[in-house]
Chains A and B, each alone.
Chain A
Amino acid sequence: MGTLIIKVASKYLIAIILLYSLFMFFRGHNYPGGGFIGGLAAATAWSMYGIVYKASGIIQERLEPSKISAFGLLVILISGVVGLGSHTFFKGVWFKVGPVKLGTPLLFDAGVYLVVFGAVVNIVSYFEESFKWK
């Protein structure tokens, strides 16, 4: 898969897809998008990187996607626990910073993003890497 065309193209594509994933993530609150879609998009970018540059082993060692996924679960739980202070588990809590409204649902969505991203990158990089120990 390491032809010159895809190698050069993927450099730019990966950057664009990652930006797109962040865009999708933040856009999700008012327009189509959100943590799941953003996470999947980011996972696509990383999978591309792993496949084109044969870097899945490095992704496994350095990025540790399963830990990212677990951390995402933790973030989700934390965002749920914040609500305990005001009313019940998983009740959204909102703060107003100037014109911007920040709330635990954003944190929750970030958690979903991380879980999806971590799980998918984990699966893909194991698939890719497993050719080496077949």
Chain B
Amino acid sequence: MMEFINPSYLVALCFLLGALCLWLNKVSFRLSGFAAISGSFAVLLGQFALKGVGSLSYLFALMCSTIGLLVVGYSWAYFKKEPDRFGQFSLFLFAFFGSMLGLLYSKDLINLFIYWEMTSLTSFLLVGFKNGSNKAREAARTALIITGGGGLCLLAGLILLGIENGTYEIAKLTSGSTPAAILVLLGIFTKSAQFPFHFWLPKAMKAPTPASAFLHSAAMVKAGPYLIILLTPIFWTNELWSIGLKSIGLISGLVGGYMAITKRDLKAILAGLTISALGIMCVMGSVYNHAALKAFLVFLMAHSLYKSILFMGAGILDKQFGDRDIFRLSGALREYKPLLVIFVIGLGSMIGLIPFMGFVAKELVLKSIEGHWLLFPVCLVFLFYGVAAIRILYPLISKKPKKVVKKLKFSFYCAPIIGAATTLIFGILPGFLNKLVEDSLGEVGVAQKVDLHLWHGLTTAFILSVAIILCSLLISWFMALKKYPEQSGVSETLYDAFWRNVRAYSGKTVSAWHRSGTSLYLYIFFGFALLLVGGMFFTYWRPVVPNVTQAPTYYEWSTGLLVAGGAILALMAKNIFIGVVGLALSGYGMALLFIMFSSPDLALTQFLVETMTVILVCFIFIRFPTKVPRRGTKRTLVNLAVSLGVGALSIGIMWKVLSYPFSSAAAEYYLKNAYELGHGKNVVNVAIVDFRSFDTLGEAFVVFLAGVGVASLFRLMPGYNKYRGK
């Protein structure tokens, strides 16, 4: 195996691919699709050339990029009817793909967190992709608030972990405390849609189906299980960790299963099943031994495969019939034989039929908890799967379809067919995965030889498995095909009520504080400054003498007078433009002072900024009458008091600052290293563009935002559209 690529290159490649697809799509839809598919193929191939990557990350990343390739191919066919939007979709999809790979390949807790939040953000974009629809936007917001908020809990947990261990490197972590465990668990549960945060996932089904097939089956929701298996060696001794995972996992397993057999929307059923499967993963991940974690990994891979092909199948039905209600879609699969194959393999793998991959996974799960009390609830969850499978499949093949059927193109069902074939191959020959699973388990400290087989003989697990399937058939007879009314769960209702109230209160707060008119803001701002800073000043008042050694020279005096004179002119002016001139005089005088006190950079900037300010202020005042309006005496007195106070405060602060000895350590460092490290003689500039360039990035972003913000304010003016329209 060639080993020469750094994982970060693959992450960067994903982002570049997204931009490339967006750009190419303006030229040609086909070209863009070609770039997307070959690009994601390159990402998949790139996985085989990585160096220095842990097996666990490798297993997850390989799974993600395999399904990523399938999904990209599928999305190209999915967007054939609206080719204009494909570029944007691929941009988001690849951005997500890159963030996910970054998450999986992170070796550092903070790095992991950043990518974790990036997957939340990109998933927000993907879920709200149909941004014309209010429901899609609402769903995207919900997903972002829940996963992003959980991410913040995770951040706190990770920082706690880092402090406790003295390092943020994942490989060097040794122990974790209970608070850290709780916070990390909150992150995991929100991301993996576990009870009581599960409701964002069914809502997120408003996303275009390719996104669901990727995010909500194989990639984003699997970040939680990834973190579980990554941190289990650290946390497993913690009671709360394992109890939390087990209880929440089981509740979610059952709640998800219940959702699956009561919903009518095909994608919502699949979402319920995903919640439930993730619950089982949580349960398996809480048991720290070889058998359980092996079952965890195999079950996770099997789930990713079958769930993504089921989603893709659902998407095809949605596109062909324009409907996702299983009862209105009755008989749909009779017309499309390839789709029938996809659904049978997907659902078969889900309930664990021979010879699909799901069977191997289910056997392992049941075997690893044989004789444990967990066996009973887990069997119950699997029972739900059987019922849900019948609920999906039976209506779809029962009657002739009512609607006229459109022809199904090969390119559309190509990707899910490949996925189905993979499910079959890994079911018959699971031995391909031996090494990968073995190495990954070695990494979390439960190394043992792994030898996966399809057929284990007539074990207890097998008998149980058969019994579950038979039972679920029996139950299906009674309850699988009923049309239950749509209802929202308790946690969803609470969440909605909470945000309704927040919106109402924030509206009231805003209208209480934001009166139009700048003067009120200035009063508030300066008032608080006077109160807080001035208060501090008086509490800690001690008479001090500034150590000023030089008396000001005559030109310093006169420039000072110019500054003051300009300000007074601005105050006294009857014509507003005279006032502007006064302000400008004051500003230019400041620039002169800067020159005198040897900061030419500052002076240059001040000159230019002053010039731009004059231009802009003129633009504003040209719209108003030139005569300065006179305020009443009372108002003038208040203004005078506030401004005198603020002036006195600034003088006081300067006075105090000058009385302290001047520390030149930072200045000396810069003077010494500016030329050696930064190769520049101008220390100020070297500091701006080199030493402190990250700060400058932030400032540049603020400048950019100001430009865009002003532009958008102008575009809101009533006449703008008419003007553009002419």
Contact = CB atoms under 8 A, between A and B. Distances in A.
Interface of A: 24, 28-37, 40-41, 43-44, 47, 51, 65-66, 69-70, 72-73, 76-77, 80-81, 84, 89-90, 92, 94, 101, 103, 105, 108-109, 111-112, 115-116, 118-120, 122-124, 126-130, 132-134
Contacts of B678: 92, 105
Given A40-B605, A41-B608, A76-B697, A118 B688 contact: no
Given A119-B706, A123-B616, A37 B689 contact: no
B711 A108 contact: no
B681 A31 contact: yes
Given A112-B700, A130-B717, A29 B608 contact: no
A35 B689 CA distance: 9
Contacts of A73: 700-701, 704
Given A69-B708, A122-B710, A30 B689 contact: no
A127 B605 CA distance: 22
Interface string B607-651: 011011001100110010000000000000000000000000000
Interface of B: 8, 12, 600-601, 603-605, 608-609, 611-612, 615-616, 619-620, 623, 677-682, 684-686, 688-690, 693-694, 696-697, 700-701, 703-704, 706-708, 710-711, 714, 717, 719-720, 722-723
A108 B696 contact: yes
Nearest to B692: A90
B696 A112 contact: yes
Nearest to A30: B681
Given A65-B707, A122-B711, A134-B719, A33 B696 contact: no
B381 to A, nearest CB: 45
A36 B704 CA distance: 12
**Interface-centre pick from B688, B693, B696, B723 (highest chain A CB count, 10 A):** B693
Q: Which of A89, A105, A108, A118 has the most CB of B within 10 A?
A: A105
Contacts of A81: 12
A77 B697 CA distance: 8
A116 B619 CA distance: 19
Given A80-B693, A124-B616, A29 B8 contact: no
Nearest to B680: A29
B711 A126 contact: yes
- Residue from the set A40, A65, A77, A80 with the largest chain B CB neighbour count within 10 Å: A40
A29 B711 contact: no
A66 B714 CA distance: 14
The 5 A-B residue pairs whose C-beta atoms are closest, nearest first, are A119-B707, A133-B719, A133-B723, A30-B681, A32-B600
A25 to B, nearest CB: 10
Given A123-B706, A126-B714, A130-B717, A40 B608 contact: yes
Contacts of B623: 134
Contacts of A70: 704
User: Looking at B616, B685, B720, B722, which has the most chain A CB atoms within 10 Å of its CB?
Assistant: B685
B219 to A, nearest CB: 24
A105 B704 CA distance: 19
23 contacts: A33-B604, A34-B684, A34-B685, A37-B608, A40-B612, A65-B707, A66-B708, A70-B704, A73-B704, A76-B696, A76-B697, A89-B694, A90-B693, A90-B694, A105-B689, A111-B700, A112-B700, A118-B707, A119-B706, A124-B619, A127-B619, A127-B714, A133-B717
